[in-house]
Amino acid sequence: MRATEALKEDHRVIERMLRVLFVASQQLQRGEEVDPQIFSKALDFIQNFSDKCHHHKEEDNLFPTLQQRGVPKEGGPIGMMLVEHDEGRQHVREFASALDKYEKGDRSPAVKNGIISHVMSFVQLLSQHIDKEDNILYAIADDVLSAADQADLVHRFHEIEENTIGPGTHERYVKMVDDLERAVQRQSSRT
Residues near Fe ion (CB under 5 A): 58, 81, 133
- We find the least distance from the C-beta atom of residue 27 to Fe ion, in angstroms, to be 27
- We find the least distance from the C-beta atom of residue 11 to Fe ion, in angstroms, to be 6
* CB of 133 or CB of 149, closer to Fe ion: 133
* CB of 21 or CB of 81, closer to Fe ion: 81
Torsions phi, psi for 152 (to 5 deg): -65, -40
* CB of 133 or CB of 161, closer to Fe ion: 133
- We find the least distance from the C-beta atom of residue 157 to Fe ion, in angstroms, to be 12
- We find the least distance from the C-beta atom of residue 36 to Fe ion, in angstroms, to be 28
* CB of 27 or CB of 61, closer to Fe ion: 61
